[in-house]
Amino acid sequence: MLAPAPLFVARAARAQSDADPAITSARPALRVLLGPGEASPGADGTFAFQGRLYRGSFTRLDDGQIVNLVDLEAYVGSVVPAEMSPRWPAAALETQSICARTYVLQRSNPGRPYDLVPSELDQVYRGIEGESPNATAAVSATAGKVLRFSAGFAQVAYSSCCGGHTEASSDAWGGIPIPYLGGVVCTSCSDSPYFRWSSSLTLESIASSLPASLASIGDLVDLRIAQRDASGRARVIELVGRNDSVTVQGSAFRRAVGPRTLRSLLITAVQHWPDSPDIDIEGGGLGHGVGLCQWGAHGMALAGAGAAGILAHYFPGTVVNDLER
């Protein structure tokens, strides 16, 4: 989620029409890769693909995959309720809308026949089926609003719950430190069911997810946090084998065991009893923790903050203003 942030570039893709003028913009169409299959035009500027209706139009790539050409605001209207509960306060949904919109502006890629995929690899997008009135209202209330830093768009990232301190992008993903993604204290996300968690993993399942190149350490018998970053997350993890020990980057370890299995790298305790097949891990937060803490936005919104104030907290030094300025 941290590619350079070029201005969105118009290409051949154009939306044929838009069904709901309340959530449309004057910008060129986005190109969202839906996948292989058959699409058929529907009424009012929609089309059907694999049992779902989508706004805008479609084109077929040479390899048979269908690309949805969709208006930016219509796209954001479907993404917001997929990425955040539409039952959450309006200010949180407005915050998510601005994040989702800004994220798109970093994804334009003239070198590819599409800009985005409709999954968590970019943002979850389910067409009209994904829309919700509360989210549509939040998208409309923030129409055209984006997050900027200096002369460009801010590089936006978000995750569910930071556990009390957001993560620096440079710690999570490497690269140079980004001034507004350095990590901040968050006191608003304790309502999350994953603010604190514990889980029990088997050593065998952890070992089976590790690359074969680590097999020389022998059977995995323990793991330890070797180094933490400024947010408290595990930067380096020591894997203790029967023959040898090795250290791995925390982010690589979480990728290997699976981000759903290891909810975050904010690991507060690791406990392994001798000869037990299991290892008990306690931690905080859900997700990478960089940028917006969504449960923090929920908490700040309940406390009366608006979207601009929430974004200023999680992306310090950025400003919200109009895309078309």
Which residues contact Zn ion by CB under 5 A? 162, 186, 189, 293, 296
Question: Which is it for strands 292-293 and 158-159: parallel, antiparallel or unpaired?
Answer: parallel
CB 307 within 8 A of CB 320: yes
CB closer to Zn ion, 27 vs 288: 288
Q: Where are the alpha helices (DSSP H) in 159-238?
A: 169-173, 203-209
Closest distance to Zn ion from the beta carbon of 205 (Å): 28
Q: Which helix (H) or strand (E) holds 195?
A: none
Least distance in angstroms from the C-beta of 278 to Zn ion: 29
Nearest residue (CB) to Zn ion, 118 versus 285? 285
Q: Are 313 and 300 in contact (CB under 8 A)?
A: yes
CB of 296 to Zn ion, least distance (A): 4
Give whichever of 15 and 186 is closer to Zn ion, judged by the CB atom: 186
Which CB, 136 or 231, lies closer to Zn ion? 231
Cα distance between residue 17 and residue 284, in whole Å? 45
For residue 270, CA distances in Å to 146, 203, 281, 288 come to 41, 12, 5, 19
Closer residue to Zn ion (CB): 32 or 162: 162
Nearer to Zn ion among residue 23 and residue 162 (C-beta): 162
For Zn ion, the closer of residues 1 and 186 by Cβ is 186
Closest to Zn ion by CB, 81 vs 296, is 296
**Looking at the DSSP assignment, which residues form a beta bridge with residue 314?**
none
Element (H, E) at 301: helix 294-302
Sign (positive or negative) of CA dihedral 47, 52, 54, 57: negative
At closest approach, how far in Å is the CB of 181 from Zn ion?
14
To Zn ion, the closest distance from the beta carbon of 235 in angstroms equals: 19
Please state the closest distance from residue 8 (CB atom) to Zn ion, in A. Answer: 30
At closest approach, how far in Å is the CB of 71 from Zn ion? 32
257-287 b/e (C-beta count within 10 Å ≥ 16 → b): beeeebbbbbbeebebeeeeeebebebbbbb
Rounded CA separation 300/289 (Å): 17
C-alpha–C-alpha distance, residues 266 and 162, integer Å: 8
Which phi and psi angles does 253 have, rounded to 5°? -65, -45
CB 281 within 8 Å of CB 198: yes
Report the nearest approach of Zn ion to the CB of residue 164 (Å): 6
